């Protein structure tokens, strides 16, 4: 066989090809294998960032759309040169998805995570396990707006129908908080239903689909699956109406915060800009969906980004009680209520500190973001419904409150106002996107028509108080006077007549 003699030019091409192949192979290994980590080397052309060398802020999250503000501003979940945190603030942020709460909290305690998510409503239930690390709450990331729901079987049309029924719920979680609020809105307690504990909201849905329970508190898209699989099933209520109950917050160890104050200030500011930009345009929202889909390894169709209100800087100012004119739900009020509720149920210690001692509001206080895009969310605007048209709309939950009036009178005295403040105002705020029907009722003493007119005037007085004192939209309310026509007790006894002289507060469907 004749030898083939290579020319100098051919030999040069072969050498260049081998060199290029070796270079590309080494570059790939440095950026995509442990070799790069072991050597502490990354290629200059790579967009990845070595977190061990840059001391990135490591943020523990779950696969929930509510953290999109930060992930959008970071241009992804991993630190990279493309991140606006890197280019605009000179910091690196690493979002680490750990869906097991116990494993995630263990990583935070160990120091493998710097910031950790939780919902403020359920925070009292974990405080005892993390108190030795001196946690402080830094900012709010979102409100759940449809991400959590109660699914029920055929024949359950309102919360009162749940009495005595089996309900699957993951205890000490946002799902549990949501259920407790719903029961309170119907004048019920947890003891009025049978709780079937589950590991998480997904398992609650599985119990429902398997016919083991009458209802389940779950989240999207499991709630939609339950409705499809179980004949006659429906969503009784979701956080789309119960709009100010489940609030995701981030917390960190106090010593870490004080040692990294400037970096965390930058993290918060960028996150709030990201949240505002997502709300500003459909194009930005679609970009956020693509980032979440890639980071969570989900199809874009499964990223239901509108299931959360991505709270901006103005929302955080309100949430931390830094706006004296704000009359909505604050972190302090939400935390205080749920701390007492969970302590009464034995799920939290009665000695949990006040929110004032847990908050670290300085990131919010020292950030200056102005303009319409950074303004807080306003109240929902309701279209007026005539009282005559709204009196028969289906109620989700009815709470009976005894408000005393002098005979023949309809104006509220200070005692009546205090009863409304304690027994209903927090529910009205928490279910901020739900319409409210106020029904006045009397006993059967006196003329029926006069009692009907008087009961409506009394209900009007309650509405007017909520509008004037708490700045609630007057169009949100439907007012009816039932007079003696809807008794709940025997009018033949003085105690029964007293029960019938009541005001019903009803959350009703749009």
Q: What would the pLDDT profile of 157-184 be if each residue is shown by its tens digit?
A: 999 999 999 999 999 999 999 999 999 9
Give the architecture-level CATH label for domain 53-145+246-374.
3-Layer(aba) Sandwich (3.40)
pLDDT single digits (tens) 436-454: 999 999 999 999 999 999 9
d(CA 71, CA 271): 8
Residue listed under structure tokens 């002289």: 501
On the question of pLDDT at 341 being above 70, the answer is: yes
Average pLDDT of 450-459? 94
Q: Is the peptide bond before 221 cis (omega within 30 degrees of 0)?
A: yes
Q: Does domain 387-508 have CATH number 3.30.1330.60?
A: yes
On the question of pLDDT at 358 being above 80, the answer is: yes
On the question of pLDDT at 64 being above 50, the answer is: yes
Domain covering 148-238, topology: D-Maltodextrin-Binding Protein; domain 2 (3.40.190)
d(CA 148, CA 237): 9
Burial track 393-414 (b if 16+ CB lie within 10 A, e otherwise) = eebbbbbbbebebeeeebebee
Average pLDDT of 396-419? 89
Transcribe 450-495 into DSSP letters.
HHHHHHHHHHHHHHHHHHHHH---GGGEEEEEEETSS-SS-TTSHH
* % of the chain surpassing 70 pLDDT: 89
Average pLDDT of 233-246? 95
**Residue among 242, 178, 181, 235 at smallest CA distance from 380:** 242
As a whole number, the mean pLDDT across the chain is: 90
Q: CA-based Rg of the chain, rounded to a whole angstrom?
A: 28
The tokens describing 87, both together, are 């280019």
**Residue among 127, 109, 89 at smallest CA distance from 343:** 127
Question: How many CA atoms are closer than 13 Å to the CA of 437, on its beta-carbon side?
Answer: 24
* Confidence category of residue 30, pLDDT binned at 50, 70, 90: very low
pTM: predicted TM-score of the whole model, two decimal places:
0.86
The tokens describing 197, both together, are 């504990």
């Amino acid at each position: 066989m004749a030898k083939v003699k290579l020319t100098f030019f051919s030999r040069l091409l072969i050498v260049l090809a081998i060199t290029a192949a070796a270079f590309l192979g080494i570059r790939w290994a440095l950026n995509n294998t442990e070799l790069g980590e072991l050597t502490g080397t990354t290629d200059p052309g790579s967009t990845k960032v070595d977190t061990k060398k840059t001391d990135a802020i490591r943020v523990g999250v779950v696969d929930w759309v509510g953290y999109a503000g930060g992930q959008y501003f970071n241009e992804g979940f991993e630190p990279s040169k493309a991140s606006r945190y890197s280019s605009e603030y000179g910091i690196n942020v690493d979002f680490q998805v750990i869906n097991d709460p116990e494993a995630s909290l263990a990583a935070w305690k160990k120091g493998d995570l710097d910031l950790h998510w939780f919902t403020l409503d359920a925070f009292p239930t974990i405080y005892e396990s993390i108190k030795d690390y001196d946690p402080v709450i830094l900012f709010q990331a979102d409100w759940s707006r449809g991400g959590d729901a109660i699914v029920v079987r055929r024949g359950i049309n309102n919360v009162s129908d749940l009495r005595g029924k089996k309900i699957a719920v993951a205890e000490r979680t946002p799902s549990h908080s949501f259920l407790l609020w719903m029961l309170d809105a119907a004048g019920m307690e947890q003891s009025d239903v049978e709780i079937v504990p589950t590991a998480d909201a997904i398992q609650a849905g599985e119990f429902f689909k398997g016919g083991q329970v009458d209802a389940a508190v779950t989240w999207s898209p499991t709630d939609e699956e339950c409705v499809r699989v179980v004949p006659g099933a429906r969503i009784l209520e979701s956080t789309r109406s119960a709009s100010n109950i489940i609030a995701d917050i981030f917390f960190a160890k106090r010593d870490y915060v004080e040692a990294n104050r400037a970096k965390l200030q930058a993290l918060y500011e960028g996150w709030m800009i990201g949240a505002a930009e997502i709300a500003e345009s459909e194009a930005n929202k679609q970009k956020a969906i693509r980032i979440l889909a890639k980071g969570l390894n989900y199809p874009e169709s499964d990223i239901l980004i509108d299931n959360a209100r991505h709270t901006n800087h103005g929302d955080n100012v309100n949430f931390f009680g830094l706006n004296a004119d704000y009359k909505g739900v604050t972190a302090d009020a939400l935390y205080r209520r749920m701390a007492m509720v969970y302590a009464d149920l034995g799920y939290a210690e009665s000695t949990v500190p006040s929110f004032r001692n847990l908050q670290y509001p300085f990131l919010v206080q020292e950030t200056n973001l102005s303009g319409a895009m950074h303004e807080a969310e306003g109240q929902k605007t309701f279209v007026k419904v005539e009282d005559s048209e709204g009196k028969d709309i289906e109620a989700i939950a009815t709470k009976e409150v005894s408000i005393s009036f002098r005979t023949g009178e309809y104006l509220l005295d200070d005692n009546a106002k205090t009863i409304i403040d304690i027994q209903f105002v927090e529910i009205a705020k928490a279910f901020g996107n739900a319409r409210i029907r106020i029904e006045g009722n009397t006993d059967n003493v006196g003329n029926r028509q006069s009692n009907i007119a008087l009961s409506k005037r009394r209900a009007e007085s309650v509405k007017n108080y909520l509008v004037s004192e708490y700045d609630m939209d007057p169009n949100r309310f439907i007012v009816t006077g039932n007079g003696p026509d809807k008794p709940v007790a025997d009018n033949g006894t003085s105690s029964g007549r007293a029960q019938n002289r009541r005001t019903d507060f009803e959350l009703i469907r749009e």
